[in-house]
Amino acid sequence: MAITKTDFMRGMQCEKMLWLDKHKPSLKVIPEEVQKRLDQGNEFGDAAMGMFGPYEEMTVFRPGTQIPDKKAMVEKTKEHLELGTKVICEAAFSDYNNYCAVDILRKTDRGYDMYEVKNSPEVHEQFIKDAAFQYYIVKRNRLEIGKIFIVIHGEDENDPFQPVEVTEEVRKLYPWINENIWRLNRCQKEKEELTVPPGDQCLHPYECWYYGYCHKTKEEDGQEEQLTLL
């Protein structure tokens, strides 16, 4: 097992969430409204690929599935970087099997600028951390990154893609990513289910998809305790 961008963000919210993702994913419940937002985000991200004109997309699926072939995507990305492709979408990178796919890389005189696309009217702290994870993996692949942007959903629906520069904020988080990525790798490999008491992390910054499981377990434990006392 290794850590992806999604793994990292979910693990930083709650280590148990990450563990459940790896060991008991069938317990996951994604509310309909959340799935709708995720789908809308994917649609916005797909549309943003063309914001700088012609591009090359690195997405490769395993034969007969809709599951990304990460190894093939990493190799395809390497090929296009060597070719000097001007705009690369879903550019894939791996470091000790830790993995990310950058929404957009745009070639400049100093290397590439990096763009993370979010279907949101403003930049949130989570978006910067998200971009920081990607920057960490890309930097360890020795690719020169100039500026880093979060692309949010602007007010002009005819041209909704609004880049907001977050370069300095992202670079400052490099040590924090390095400190936690290896810790989360160890957490997800634990054989026994992690014990994390329910708390604020169950709802912030996002509602956990295992909320029902963890809170139901807590209630059942309390009921069992009462029965024992009787």
The string of pLDDT tens digits covering residues 188-214 is 999 999 999 999 999 999 999 999 999
Instruction: Output helix, strand, coil percentages for the chain, rounded to the nearest 5.
Output: 50, 20, 30
- For residues 129 and 173, is the Cβ–Cβ distance under 8 A? yes
Positions of the chain with pLDDT under 70: 1, 217-230
Query: What radius of gyration do the chain's Cα atoms show?
Result: 20
Amino acid (1-letter code) at residue 51:
M
What's residue 216's pLDDT? 80
Distance CA 153, CA 158 (A): 11
Give the right CATH number for 5-197 from 3.90.320, 3.90.1520, 3.30.300, 1.20.5. 3.90.320
Write down the pTM of the prediction: 0.91
Distance CA 103, CA 100 (A): 10
Backbone angles phi, psi at 177, to 5 degrees: -60, -45
What's residue 225's pLDDT? 44
* 25: preceding bond cis by omega (within 30 degrees): no
Distance CA 173, CA 129 (A): 7
- For residues 49 and 55, is the Cβ–Cβ distance under 8 A? yes
What's residue 61's pLDDT? 96
Strands 111-117 and 145-153: parallel
Q: Is 75 helix (H, G, I), strand (E, B) or coil?
A: helix
Distance CA 99, CA 85 (A): 21
Share of the chain above pLDDT 90, in %: 90
Distance CA 162, CA 86 (A): 20
Task: Sketch the domain layout of the chain as residue ranges.
Answer: 5-197
